[in-house]
A and B are shown apart, each in its own frame.
Chain A
Amino acid sequence: MYTKMESDLNRFRKIVRGKIKSSLRKFISSGDLIGRQGNKQVTIPIPRIDLPRFTFGDNQQQGVGQGKGEVGEDTSEGQPQPGEGEAGDQEGNHDLEVEVSMEELAKILGEELALPNIEDKGRENLEDKEYKYSGVLKQGPESLHHFRRTYKEALKRSIAMGNYDPKNPIIIPIKEDKRYRSYTVINKPVANAVIIYMMDVSGSMGDEQKEIVRLTSFWLDTWLSTQYKGIERRYIIHDATAKVVDQDTFYRTKESGGTLISSAYRTAVKMIEDEFKPAEWNIYLFHFSDGDNWSGNDTTECMKILEEKILPISNLFCYGQVESRYGSGQFLRDLVKHFGDNHDKVTLAQIKDRDAIMESLKIFLGTGK
């Protein structure tokens, strides 16, 4: 039995991919996808792809059923189970749930936001070899014998020699006809990356602000994970003092009190010095805050740390300012004043609300660093 489902399935997947792409903004700002991650897969709910028809509308609520019960009683002992019994042809009205690998999702994100691939900092000494069977050679081990090519050669030869008889198509390959698969070595740089997330958890950062940070980091993670093989994540929260925490705590903690941003930067610098040798690691720092810093002095201190210690060793420093009712937003202005709008390694974004997440992703990742 010849089956050709694969090509139809691919056509369908292509359409699904288009659907995901077109509603990416919605996914990004709603956070629907977070928590749907499996190991390497995300389950994405998309509306059933319907072909339009002339059909009856929703006012067709009546119907005939069977079973016990008095007039006025509830009919639903349970939802009807589709497909029970034998070949059912009723179509359920469910959303389609499609599984997409994180990689695929990142690719879609990349295409939609037109993100450039990240240029590695370039450490040629750290390389891994990969073998790819792409060529054909005349010599090789029998285990790599390429039957089709060999027979093609043999056929060519026998036709050329004039001893090919279409009525009795016997082709015997000789040694010269033999072809073998050959591999080429591809040198792949091993890229390691660490993402250090820092967040202001002072009293002025509310739940909505944290949710925005959470969503933004999810997508940053998704993209960066596809760019590097091994990726490490570290989380730092700060108010007047900074703490290294795990991912869970990072999103949940709510502290009150003042804000000293420099404390977080200092902790990050220490972490890098201890754990991640800048020569071997691509280092990303993301800092989210509502822009309130305790004092001008501390801000000056922050700039100093950034300039002298952080920027020279990192790929990228991103500052995302989340709008909150209490935040003054001063820190962003200070950063702009200090580094200008087009600094090589500093990208700044203002994330007003959920809808702005997509734009900020573009700003953060659009540099290809």
Chain B
Amino acid sequence: MTQKDTSLTPELREEAERLAEAAKKAGLDCFPTIFEVVDYQQLNEIAAYGGFPTRYPHWRWGMEYERLSKSYTYGLSLIYEMVINTNPCYAYLLRANSMVYQKTVMAHVYGHCDFFKNNYWFSKTNRKMLDQMANHSSTIRKIMNDVGHDEVEAFIDTCLALDNLIDIHGQFKSPVKKKSLEEMESEAKRIPGKLQSKKYMDQYVNPADFLEAQKVKIQHEADQQKNFPERPERDVLKFLIDYAPISTWQKRVLEIIRDEAYYFAPQGQTKIINEGWATYWHSKMMTQLAPLNESEIVDYCDHYAGVVATHGGRLNPYKLGVELLRHVEKRWDEGKFGIDYINCDDPKVRREWNTQAGLGRQKIFEVRKFHNDITFIDEFLDEDFCHQTKMFIYDVDPKTGRQVISSRDFSKIKQQLLSQITNFGQPLIDIVDANFKNRGELLLSHQFSGVEIKHDFAIETLKCLHRIWNRPVHIETWSEDSKKRISWDGQTSSIDKA
């Protein structure tokens, strides 16, 4: 295959520089951004690899590629743009796109790039991930050479079944501190649970009922320590790496899968706000900061309409994100915040509220720095916005089997939306006992929030887990209003009342 030149044409380069300048002036703070111009095959390839052409060998990239190519051939979908969170930031442009699209996409990319660099949730990601992925790839290839392609690939499949069992907030928690020897000694000297105090204060600081309560607490803690793990562990992959009876190469593969899962996690956490931010900026740049000329603007509008369109009433993250950001901007521009505004009940006053505060731009920059989808929606999605953008809850009508609008009630909508995006719409699962029944069996627990987990999938996943843990595995969940325990002991599956 001949390698095509992937560098920008002079025309595009000039445009990229102009847009970068405009972005900088507007306050965006991006990593250096490298654009590569590729044809649709290359773009499909890169997209199939999740943006990283250097990934380890696995059949699912092939499947994804096949799917993308097919839908491209049939004209079902077209990827315009692909950008990855690295420093420098790499973005891919589709060669066949018109100039208007290229400009729009570049502006959009600068939006993402600023977000990657400045959003708190991305702060722990590895910005040299391209290299890291290449390292992973060569490690896995090496393992494959040693143990055989099929075996390693099968093990990767096993690990991938579990790769959503990570603790997405874990990276931001401070590690649990181990007590030093001195601390333990000084603790031992004291009467259990007694707080330090001067003698004359002792009866006030440590009254009898307090000491009693402390005793119970200490007893409880001691009981917990007998548990393994001490407290529920959400980072299942880490736990398996540390404690599962697997060989060194398997451990290495599991580490790689976990590493990549953590790398991609923030993108799942910030889908709405990230796309909203990028769309906000490409629209701002194309129409105001580095405006398109008259001959281009209609094409641009057509494209924009496609980006923020809703299909069949489904929520579109681009649309929701950009509209909510603009809503925030408008509110802070008009001073619609603070205790006075919140306590105001008069709809007319509320509507006409405008203190000319002009803080909108500043506020949305703050939003992009600190928020992820959940906090963004939780904090800013208000009743006005909900009605303005015509949100609703849909449900299946049991009589007709069709999907109908079931409610337009604000609080229900918000609750539904939040639960939909919590943990990327995946069940929250912890390891609660790694020595279940005192037989070294592994017990997981699903934090039930109203939606059942899929049983056949759960059993298949348990099989994968069993392959790693090598002892019977269980998951506690709720189904049909009672607590159930789904188990796999290596031969048979069972669902029992728990």
Contacts of B313 on A, CB cut-off 8 Å?
65-67, 69, 75-77
Q: Does B434 contact A (CB under 8 A)?
A: no
Q: Are B311 and A81 in contact (CB under 8 A)?
A: yes
What does the 1/0 interface line of B30-59 toward A look like (CB < 8 Å)? 000000101000100101110001000111
Number of interface residues of B (CB under 8 A): 87
Contacts of A69 on B, CB cut-off 8 Å?
313, 392, 405
Q: Are B460 and A88 in contact (CB under 8 A)?
A: no
Which residue of B77, B312, B417 contacts A77 across the interface (Cβ within 8 Å)?
B312
Which residue of B49, B67, B395 contacts A61 across the interface (Cβ within 8 Å)?
B395
Q: Are A56 and B426 in contact (CB under 8 A)?
A: yes
**What's the nearest-Cβ distance from chain B to residue A42, in Å?**
15
Known: A55-B426, A58-B454, A73-B404. A64 touches B392 (CB 8 A): yes
Known: A1-B6, A56-B451. A67 touches B76 (CB 8 A): no
Among listed B79-87, B117-125, B209-217, B325-333, interface-contacting one: B79-87
What does the 1/0 interface line of A58-99 toward B look like (CB < 8 Å)? 111111111111111111111111111111100000001110
**What's the nearest-Cβ distance from chain B to residue A293, in Å?**
51
Q: Are B80 and A64 in contact (CB under 8 A)?
A: no
Q: Are A56 and B57 in contact (CB under 8 A)?
A: no
Q: Are B403 and A76 in contact (CB under 8 A)?
A: yes
Known: A54-B453, A56-B452, A65-B392. A85 touches B427 (CB 8 A): no
Q: Are A64 and B310 in contact (CB under 8 A)?
A: no
What does the 1/0 interface line of B280-319 toward A look like (CB < 8 Å)? 0000000000000000000000000011011111111011
Contacts of A88 on B, CB cut-off 8 Å?
77, 79
**What's the nearest-Cβ distance from chain B to residue A28, in Å?**
25
Contacts of A229 on B, CB cut-off 8 Å?
none
Q: Does B3 contact A (CB under 8 A)?
A: yes
Bound form: Cα–Cα A54–B315 in Å: 24
CB-based nearest A residue for B4: A1
Q: Are A12 and B62 in contact (CB under 8 A)?
A: yes
Which residue of A8, A56, A83, A86 contacts B71 across the interface (Cβ within 8 Å)?
A83
Q: Does B391 contact A (CB under 8 A)?
A: yes
Which residue of B1, B48, B314 contacts A80 across the interface (Cβ within 8 Å)?
B314
Q: Are B164 and A53 in contact (CB under 8 A)?
A: yes
CB-based nearest A residue for B391: A66
Q: Are A63 and B416 in contact (CB under 8 A)?
A: yes
Q: Are A64 and B420 in contact (CB under 8 A)?
A: yes
**What's the nearest-Cβ distance from chain A to residue B457, in Å?**
5
Which residue of A5, A15, A75 contacts B403 across the interface (Cβ within 8 Å)?
A75
Q: Does B429 contact A (CB under 8 A)?
A: yes
Among listed B226-234, B243-251, B406-414, interface-contacting one: B406-414
Contacts of B483 on A, CB cut-off 8 Å?
none
Q: Does B425 contact A (CB under 8 A)?
A: yes
What does the 1/0 interface line of A1-29 toward B look like (CB < 8 Å)? 11111011111111100000000000000
CB-based nearest B residue for A14: B59
Q: Are B390 and A71 in contact (CB under 8 A)?
A: no
Q: Does A49 contact B (CB under 8 A)?
A: yes
Which residue of A54, A56, A83 contacts B77 across the interface (Cβ within 8 Å)?
A83
Q: Are B405 and A53 in contact (CB under 8 A)?
A: no
Q: Does A161 contact B (CB under 8 A)?
A: no
Bound form: Cα–Cα A8–B452 in Å: 35
Contacts of B23 on A, CB cut-off 8 Å?
none
Known: A66-B316, A71-B407, A86-B307. A54 touches B164 (CB 8 A): yes
Interface residues of B in 100-126 (CB under 8 A from A): 105, 108
Interface residues of B in 382-412 (CB under 8 A from A): 389-396, 402-408
CB-based nearest B residue for A68: B390
Among listed B153-161, B170-178, B367-375, interface-contacting one: B153-161
Q: Does A162 contact B (CB under 8 A)?
A: no
Q: Are B315 and A98 in contact (CB under 8 A)?
A: no
Q: Are B426 and A51 in contact (CB under 8 A)?
A: no
Bound form: Cα–Cα A22–B125 in Å: 42
What does the 1/0 interface line of A24-39 toward B look like (CB < 8 Å)? 0000000000000000
CB-based nearest A residue for B279: A86
CB-based nearest A residue for B407: A71
Known: A9-B62, A9-B65. A86 touches B311 (CB 8 A): no
Q: Are A54 and B63 in contact (CB under 8 A)?
A: no
Q: Does A57 contact B (CB under 8 A)?
A: yes
**What's the nearest-Cβ distance from chain A to residue B312, in Å?**
4
Interface residues of B in 414-436 (CB under 8 A from A): 416-417, 420, 425-427, 429
What does the 1/0 interface line of B429-464 toward A look like (CB < 8 Å)? 100000000000000001000011111011011011
Q: Does A169 contact B (CB under 8 A)?
A: no
Known: A13-B62, A53-B164. A73 touches B71 (CB 8 A): no
Q: Does B322 contact A (CB under 8 A)?
A: no
Q: Are B53 and A76 in contact (CB under 8 A)?
A: no
Main secondary structure of the interface of B (DSSP, over half): mixed
Contacts of B108 on A, CB cut-off 8 Å?
86
Which residue of B53, B80, B406, B417 contacts A87 across the interface (Cβ within 8 Å)?
B80
CB-based nearest B residue for A15: B59
**What's the nearest-Cβ distance from chain B to residue A66, in Å?**
5
**What's the nearest-Cβ distance from chain A to residue B380, in Å?**
15
Q: Are B394 and A87 in contact (CB under 8 A)?
A: no
Interface residues of A in 234-293 (CB under 8 A from B): none
CB-based nearest B residue for A76: B312
Known: A63-B420, A65-B392, A82-B76. A51 touches B157 (CB 8 A): yes
Q: Does B66 contact A (CB under 8 A)?
A: yes
Bound form: Cα–Cα A105–B312 in Å: 39
Contacts of A59 on B, CB cut-off 8 Å?
451-452
Known: A57-B453, A76-B313. A3 touches B392 (CB 8 A): no
Q: Does A52 contact B (CB under 8 A)?
A: yes
Q: Are B153 and A11 in contact (CB under 8 A)?
A: yes
Q: Are A11 and B58 in contact (CB under 8 A)?
A: yes
**What's the nearest-Cβ distance from chain A to residue B6, in Å?**
6
Q: Are B402 and A76 in contact (CB under 8 A)?
A: yes
Q: Are B42 and A1 in contact (CB under 8 A)?
A: yes
Bound form: Cα–Cα A2–B138 in Å: 14
Bound form: Cα–Cα A240–B418 in Å: 75
Bound form: Cα–Cα A15–B77 in Å: 25
Known: A5-B62, A9-B62, A67-B390. A62 touches B395 (CB 8 A): yes
Known: A8-B57, A15-B59. A56 touches B405 (CB 8 A): no
Q: Are B454 and A11 in contact (CB under 8 A)?
A: no
**Residue of B165, B312, B427 contacting most chain A CB atoms (<10 Å):** B312
CB-based nearest A residue for B6: A1
Q: Does B497 contact A (CB under 8 A)?
A: no
Bound form: Cα–Cα A79–B416 in Å: 22
Q: Does B61 contact A (CB under 8 A)?
A: yes
Q: Does B166 contact A (CB under 8 A)?
A: no
Q: Are A75 and B315 in contact (CB under 8 A)?
A: no
**What's the nearest-Cβ distance from chain A to residue B442, in Å?**
14
CB-based nearest B residue for A50: B457
CB-based nearest B residue for A78: B312
Q: Known contacts A52-B460, A55-B426; can you find 11 more A-B pairs with CB under 8 A?
A: A1-B6, A8-B57, A12-B59, A49-B63, A56-B427, A65-B405, A68-B390, A71-B408, A74-B403, A80-B311, A83-B77
11 A-B pairs, CB-CB below 8 angstroms? A55-B453, A56-B453, A61-B395, A62-B393, A64-B413, A65-B314, A66-B313, A73-B405, A76-B312, A84-B309, A86-B307
Interface residues of B (CB under 8 A from A): 1, 3, 6, 36, 38, 42, 45, 47-49, 53, 57-63, 65-67, 70-71, 76-82, 105, 108, 153, 157, 160-161, 164-165, 306-307, 309-316, 318-320, 389-396, 402-408, 413, 416-417, 420, 425-427, 429, 446, 451-455, 457-458, 460-461, 463-464, 475
Interface residues of A (CB under 8 A from B): 1-5, 7-15, 49, 51-88, 96-98
